[in-house]
Structure 1
């Protein structure tokens, strides 16, 4: 089976001179402590490449787009995090040449990973200050400093790149996190506390901070629409079987709309993300939790829902959608995850067939520790899926070719 994107680039992730006919070792992925730069997964027959050499590199969260064109428009770049002397810094890598470039060097833990393709800037936060670094010039500017009475975090940039948005939480939340640092301890406690949370946006040009919505419940997973600059998706965090999780708000009118309402005891929906055309919100749907599994899509305009069924062992922590919106990818999961699947530790490609997803296993992830979520992304040319993994010990970023390897 071939997956072809009309007019796709001729990008080949490999050093000069490497061709598809070059002989590569066929190995168990993660079966040895140090994998070669390229190999063929012996379980799946797909070619893998390690994109980063230095340890402790991290690709973006699954719904944060990390790709943009090079300044000359010839190649695709990917933005990612890497540790430099124990400090997180931002890098780009040219996917045509595989040459990395460090673009930040300031001290301080950086969080946010928000890419503005039009501005060619990466937005991020260090403590209470929001910065933007230009991908090409590496010039960094201060965008905003949160006031003492409103310490918060940015998470998303709107479609016309004029506003950053995020959540503010009552300071009691930090106290809970400090006393109970593991997710198993703080998750229910924060939900049960019913603390005040607020959605806000920052106008990038004027520096105006505006609160747009408040509730005494845990708000998170904030994502602007990929096409509508006024449409913001957010979720009610907490145990998924206790919340109607997915919501939208129009930041101009302040109208709030529920996207999915549970109909059965222990039904869950979550890890939502936007389609590239902004017409659909996709999410993991289980009716009920841990028994039947779907990738569901909500039509933002008409309100209709479609859902694609999958088997337990095909369920993934996160899903993502291809640039042409015809295919999906998933990062699998280990038996400790909600699906309790015994054989789901794979990077998956999914193709809708009727009302089901047909899966192809791309990477055997049995040697990966799923405490680090792989967070899959299709490359812009749709030939590769990028993910992060720790099967060599530290975290690296890898790419797996969607087409089976041809010797």
Structure 2
């Protein structure tokens, strides 16, 4: 490393974590911000990371670029995975997708009405009957972008983005809600930019975020999330001038975006009036804004960027109070993220690595008591995203390829993870205020050897816990699938 590059890297490492330093001030000012005008945050004071950020990626080790899955045979609709013995169903006839792993895609049960899941299809937004697996188009509009479903009513939320040259986040969107039983549609609000990605438990507030003046993660890409893999085709060269593989190129662009320190804001929208108000402003890169599934006033969100450089996980109340971190790094290169709420809303669960790429856990912290549980995961079971069953008794992961952080030699599987407590021979020595440790015993459910992980499978349990739903390109097109948790007879 040259002296100039070393100096630039030191400047990056010395940069303040602005979200923590300015949290109280920004929370107070946010409550007085104009309801309809999302005000940019003030530029950070003091030293900031160099821009553009230095490219510190190691040389690429990938000899050949990613190739999309090749599939020329008829695409199966119902089969038993020969390697795992679990039954798999393809739910979409001609392609489709679903929301992100922490976004609700199921509707509350109602007497006399079918239990439904909501997904995206080429025809628009569709429902899936969870007993018959029958698919029905709900919103016949290819421009309708499914966001999530409600937890109180049988409501589906979606947006329609206006056309234009700006990147997706910078274009105006109109937010709608439709009742699946009555088919009544209501316009909630129009936002000039930003994204909405959560609704609170009593369906009175929407939650979103906005960046001011930001650029796409991949230069020259206007709509970075409108591609086949739901993310940009990342490209970059390493310090040696050679092209980087996908994972490392993405890391370069993530570092650059983090260092740019664009002003950002978290806002809420009143469902009854459409009124917007800012609840948090910062120059940190904000993402993963989520409402608790049970507490209508509790929020979690993250500071995006290279995970070993950020204090990633945060929580706050909807009025901007009680802003605090939910995990503090205790070793160099410890990383944590892809956080989500437990079904009861009491805990935040997340991917933890101590250190990065070496020791893997699915961790949790109780937001009231602070109690932590670390659940050990083997290298080949590490996953891009994890999820938990509705009863909290089982976890699942969507795997990862050899380019990803775990560099797993055999990690391309959907896996079921059953927690087993690790009990000392002298249990009386255990202390409640210390971290509890469990081991996640894995069972492979789906062979994803033909899946291209530029499309992240995500995954979620059905409300009865009997199936796990995910998206895959293992048969060429993107499709939504469900795998049965119980092994086929």
TM-score by length of 1: 0.86
Q: 1:281 aligns with which of 326, 336, 348?
A: 348
Once the two structures are superposed, the pairs formed by residues 72-151 of structure 1 within 5 Å of their partners are: 72-73=111-112, 75-84=114-123, 89-106=124-141, 108=143, 110-111=145-146, 113-127=147-161, 128-147=173-192, 151=193
Residues in 2 aligned to 1:133 and 1:59: alpha-carbon distance in whole angstroms: 17
Residues in 1 aligned to 2:471 and 2:289: alpha-carbon distance in whole angstroms: 22
Aligned to 1:49: 89
Decide whether the 8 Å contact of 1:125 with 1:153 is kept in 2: no
Aligned to 2:215: 174
Residues in 2 aligned to 1:284 and 1:187: alpha-carbon distance in whole angstroms: 18
List runs of 5+ in structure 2 lacking aligned partners.
1-68, 162-172, 225-231, 235-249, 422-437
Decide whether the 8 Å contact of 1:30 with 1:368 is kept in 2: no
Per the alignment, do residues 405 and 123 of structure 1 end up closer, same or farther by CA in structure 2, a change over 3 Å counting? same
Bigger mean CA offset, 245-254 vs 256-265: 245-254
CA drift of 1:40 comes to 0.9
Aligned to 2:271: 204
Residues in 2 aligned to 1:177 and 1:204: alpha-carbon distance in whole angstroms: 34
- How many residues of Structure 1 are paired with residues of Structure 2 in the alignment? 368
Aligned to 2:393: 326
CA drift of 1:138 comes to 2.7
Aligned to 2:105: 66
1:109-155 C-alpha deviation (Å, 9 max, x unpaired): 525x22113232211222221111221233322110124xxx22101
CA drift of 1:178 comes to 5.1
Decide whether the 8 Å contact of 2:92 with 2:121 is kept in 1: no
Residues in 2 aligned to 1:221 and 1:61: alpha-carbon distance in whole angstroms: 10
CA drift of 1:348 comes to 0.6
Residues in 1 aligned to 2:368 and 2:109: alpha-carbon distance in whole angstroms: 34
Per the alignment, do residues 146 and 251 of structure 1 end up closer, same or farther by CA in structure 2, a change over 3 Å counting? same
SS at match of 1:103: strand
Matched, 1:374 2:413: no
Residues in 2 aligned to 1:237 and 1:194: alpha-carbon distance in whole angstroms: 11
Decide whether the 8 Å contact of 2:412 with 2:448 is kept in 1: yes
Q: Give the structure with higher Rg (CA).
A: 2
Greater per-residue strand proportion: 1
Aligned to 1:24: none
Matched, 1:401 2:436: no
Matched, 1:155 2:209: no
List runs of 5+ in structure 1 lacking aligned partners.
1-28
1:226-275 C-alpha deviation (Å, 9 max, x unpaired): 11111110000000010110000111252211001111111100000100
SS at match of 1:404: coil
Residues in 2 aligned to 1:107 and 1:351: alpha-carbon distance in whole angstroms: 39
Q: 1:308 aligns with which of 375, 382, 392?
A: 375
Q: CA RMSD in A?
A: 1.9
Aligned to 1:22: none
Residues in 2 aligned to 1:119 and 1:353: alpha-carbon distance in whole angstroms: 36
CA drift of 1:51 comes to 1.4
CA drift of 1:70 comes to 6.0
CA drift of 1:179 comes to 3.2
Decide whether the 8 Å contact of 1:68 with 1:77 is kept in 2: yes
Residues in 2 aligned to 1:66 and 1:161: alpha-carbon distance in whole angstroms: 15
Aligned to 1:26: none
Residues in 2 aligned to 1:191 and 1:257: alpha-carbon distance in whole angstroms: 20
